[in-house]
Structure formats: C-alpha cells, structure tokens
Amino acid sequence: MSASASILVIVLMLNFFVLGTSRLRAVINASAGQGFALGVLALLAHPHIDADTVLVGVGAAVIKGFVIPTMLLRAMRDADIRREVEPLIGFVPSLLLCAVGTGAALVFSSTLPLAPEHQGSLLVPASLATVLSGFIVLTTRKKAINQVVGYLVLENGIYIMGLTLLEAMPFLVEVGVLLDLFVAIFVMGIIINQISREFGSLDTARLTALKE
C-alpha cells in the first residue's frame, strides 16, 4: 500500500474516532491529527514540489493541525466546560451511521469516472466519506465546540477532493480551502466566545429559545 493510501486510511479511521470517543479533548486532537495528515498527504501526493503544493500542504498542516485546535482547546479551557461529548444519539448508532456513510461513499464514487492519474486512488471515496462523517458530527452533537469540529471534518473531506485538482486549478483550491477555513473558524471562534459569556456554557442545546 502506498504512503498516500495509508494516510487516507488513517483519515478514515480518525472519522470513526471523532464519532466514537467520549472525551472532547480527544475529539479536538483527532481532528488536529486529521488536518495534519492531510497537509502531509498534499506534499506526498505530488511528485514535483512547487509553490502551490507547499502553500496548500504546509498551510493546511499548520492551520488545521495546530492553530485551530489550539484555539478550540483554549476556548474549552476558558469557558470551563465539561469534558464529555454530549451526543444526541448514542456512540454506537453514530458509529453505525458513519460505517453506512463510508460504504455509501465507496459505492457512489465507483459510479464516478476517474482521470487516468487518479485511477485506483482512494481520494474521491475518502473525500465523500469524510464529508458525510463531518455532517453526522455537526447534526448529532450538542456542544458548540464539537459542532465546530464537525465543520472541520467536513472541510477536511472537501480538502481531499481539492487535492485531485491542485495541479489544474491551484487558485480555487487554495482560496477555497485555506481562506474559508481561517475566516469561518475565526468568526465562529468569536461567536463561541460570545455564547459562553452570554449563556455560561457552550451547550447549544441551551440555544432553544427560537423554535416553533
């Protein structure tokens, strides 16, 4: 198995870990590990290292692997929130959902034709499976920080898809992946701060004044 395939398998396993573990700190660290692995993947997947590859690879490894997790861990400490993940559905059902999602991603991506240079690569199924896992985290977890992690996992999935296009359209991939992440997380970080000040908790289950 090639190095990039091993990294993608690790990424997929981290999806399950994010959904299956009960400690919030571990969830954040897992998403950091995933982001860092993807940065390395960008450097490994492209034989000739050029400016675009370095920017996307190193940028992702630093931002996804260190900057954002540090911010989230600090928010967690400052807001003094409970360490446990509070899922809306249990851990076993979430893991089952993730398994079904990964299977569906494999089946669906087999219907999409691949360019010769991507034949036999796991990039497309891994991308779709990671997007789905991120979506599951987003919709089934109550804490704001945990939802941000879900969004990060979803973005990681899109990043994997971006790697297939890094040579053809570096601009779109760079702008899309890095700028979006940085700005969105920055703004969400501010809001998280406001939520903890306003509600004294980062549990979005308390954000229930607005409903039918």
Partner 1 sequence: MLLALVFLPILLGGIAFVLPSERHRPWLLPLGGAAHLGLTATAIARRAPPMLSGYLVLDSLGTLVLGFTSVLFFLCFLYAPGYLKQRAERPNRVFVACLLVFVGTTSLILLTHHLGLMWVALEATTLCSAPLLYFNHNARSLEAVWKYLLVGSVGIALALLGSLFLAYSALYARLPPSLLLDDLVRDGPALSRPWLHAAFVLLFVGYGTKMGLAPMHTWKPDAYGEAPGLVGALLAGGLTNCAFLAILRFFRILSAAGEAAFARELMVGVGLFSIAVAGVFMARQRDYKRLLAYSSVEHMGILVLGVGVGGNAVFGSLLHLVNNGLTKGVLFLSVANIHRAFASKTVEGTTGAMRLVPVSGALFLLGFFAITGSPPFGPFVSEFTILSAAVSGGRYVVVGLFLLLLVIVFMGMGATVLAVVQGTPAGIDKARVRSPETFLTVAPAVVFLVLVLGLGLYLPPPLESVIRHAAAFEVTR
Among the candidate windows 25-33, 79-87, 94-102, 170-178, which touches partner 1 by CB under 8 A? 170-178
Are the beta carbons of 94 and 146 closer than 8 angstroms? no
CB of 18 to partner 1, least distance (A): 16
How many of the chain's residues bind partner 1 (CB under 8 A)? 43
Considering the rule CB under 8 A, would residue 10 count as an interface residue with partner 1?
A: no
Looking at beta carbons only, is 1 or 111 nearer to partner 1?
111
- Dmax of the chain from CA atoms? 56
180 binds partner 1 (CB under 8 A): yes
Closer CB to partner 1, 6 or 207, in the complex: 207
Q: Is 112 in the site for partner 1 (CB under 8 A)?
A: yes
Q: Does 68 bind partner 1 (CB under 8 A)?
A: no
Query: What is residue 47's DSSP assignment?
Result: S
SS3 of 103-171: HHHHHHHCCCCCCHHHCCCCHHHHHHHHHHHHHHHHHHECEHHHHHHHHHHHHHHHHHHHHHCCCCCHH
Q: Applying CB under 8 A, which part among 9-17, 41-49, 64-72, 111-119 lies near partner 1?
A: 111-119
Closer Cβ to partner 1, 89 or 169, answer by number:
169
Backbone angles phi, psi at 143, to 5 degrees: -80, 140
Dihedral in degrees, nearest 10, Cα atoms 32, 62, 187, 208: 0
CA dihedral of residues 37, 110, 116, 12 (deg, nearest 10): 10
Using CB under 8 A, which residues numbered 187 to 206 contact partner 1?
187-188, 191, 194-195, 198-199, 204
Of residues 134-163, which lie at the interface with partner 1 (CB under 8 A)? 135, 138, 144, 147, 151, 154-155, 157-158, 161-162
Work out whether the CA dihedral 196, 22, 150, 178 comes out positive or negative: positive
Contacting positions for partner 1 (CB under 8 A):
111-115, 131, 135, 138, 144, 147, 151, 154-155, 157-158, 161-162, 164-165, 168-169, 171-173, 175-176, 179-180, 183-184, 187-188, 191, 194-195, 198-199, 204, 207-210, 212
